[in-house]
Amino acid sequence: MQVGERIALLRKEKGFTQEQIAVSLSITAQAVSKWENGNALPDTALLPNLASVLEVSIDRLLTGRDVTIKSSPYDKEYQKEKYYWGMQHSLLAEQIVTIIKDTKGRHLIDVGSGEGRDSIYFAKCGFTVDSLEISIPGIEKIKHYSKLENCTVNTIHANLMGFEFSDFYDVIYSMGSLQFLPLDQRRNHFEKYKHYTNIGGYNAHLVFVDKPFIAIAPDWEKNEFFYWSGELAGYYHDWEIIQCGEQIIDCNSANIPHQHAVSYIIARKKVLST
């Protein structure tokens, strides 16, 4: 993606017009149009203010990637020999394979893949897998696990909040990682996932739902945010819903037995009727 295309994408994600960007920078709307069409580049002196208006780093504005990537709250756990989330794939991953059946060569990205239990499963089932994870120890676990299972997984070290897609996918998948999306960025992220899904492709997610009768998990972080009942399905109101539901699950993370309320969805991107 060129710088102008990235500026246009970030501007639209924020809901700004070219005129609004121009006013913020004390320039003309024609100048912004020239950037987005690839006919000119922003003056270096404007970059800090432009990045501030779009609420991104200058690195992401110019290259699409943030140079500084925060560590994961699970780094210490992932450094241990034992797999924190276990090595058994999830039911949601199994359901995706059952639904698609012909998985060979299908391109899938596992967003916030942890130690890779689902990424490895998908690769063994024939998918071409990109495994997106912020934790370096987590990535090392994925690489080790993939060697043990004699399969190939392409690891991507990036923060899911700053990651910019460069490919379209047949499946965009996440298992309990999207609670790290700030509330004001959720809709934009789901729209991005939908945009970068091939026609006929799938999105599959599991998120944590706030229920007043279930205590907050012992390893819940301050930068994690609950979803509310029905929210996940709302983002896919214009897609074919294959499966969708809520349930209470038992968990033993942090070696403390507890429960979670979760919402899950598998949705398919269809051609819009005219």
Q: At residue 70, what are phi and psi to the nearest 5 degrees? A: -65, 155
Reference 203, options 241, 248, 158; nearest CA is 241
**Chain centroid, CA 223 distance in Å:** 16
Predicted local distance difference test score (pLDDT) of residue 1: 54
Residues 6 or more apart whose Cβ sits within 8 Å of residue 28: 22
The tokens of 97 are what? 């394979």
Q: Which pLDDT belongs to residue 178? A: 95
**111 CB-near residues (< 8 Å, 6+ apart):** 132, 160, 163, 172, 173, 174, 177, 178, 193
- Residue spans of the domains in the chain: they are 3-63, 75-268
CA–centroid distance for 184 within its chain: 15
**What is the distance between the alpha carbons of residues 259 and 216, in angstroms, rounded to a whole number?**
8
Cα gap 78→138, rounded to integer Å: 5
pLDDT score for 123? 97
CB of 53 closer than 8 Å to CB of 25: yes
Q: Look at the block and give the residue holding tokens 């944590």.
A: 208
Cβ atoms 139, 151 nearer than 8 A: no
- Tens digit of each residue's pLDDT, the chain (274 residues): 588 888 988 888 788 999 999 999 999 999 999 999 989 999 988 998 998 888 777 877 887 765 555 567 888 889 999 998 889 999 999 999 999 988 888 999 999 999 999 999 999 999 999 999 999 999 999 999 999 999 999 999 888 887 888 899 999 999 999 998 888 889 989 999 999 999 999 999 999 999 889 888 877 877 889 999 999 999 999 999 999 999 998 887 767 788 889 999 999 999 876 5
User: 206-245: string of b/e by CB count within 10 Å (b at 16+)?
Assistant: bbbbebeeeeebebbeeebbebeeebbbebbeebeebeee
Sign of the torsion formed by the C-alpha atoms of 52, 56, 61 and 66: positive
pTM of this prediction? 0.76
Pick the CATH number of 3-63 from 1.10.260.40, 1.20.144.10, 1.10.1040.50, 3.50.50.60: 1.10.260.40
Give me the phi and psi of 263, to 5 degrees please: -120, 140
Rounded to the nearest 5°, which phi and psi values hold at 271?
A: -70, 130
Half-sphere exposure of 157 (CA within 13 A, CB side): 14
Given this model, what pLDDT does residue 73 score? 80
Residue 136 token pair: 């370096």
> For residue 230, what pLDDT is reported?
93
CA 252, CA 32: separation in Å to the nearest integer? 52
Q: CATH says 75-268 is which class? A: alpha beta
pLDDT value for 69: 53
Per-residue model confidence (pLDDT) at position 2: 82
Could you give the residue ranges of the DSSP H alpha helices within the chain? 3-14, 18-25, 29-36, 47-54, 58-63, 75-78, 91-100, 117-124, 136-148, 186-195, 231-234
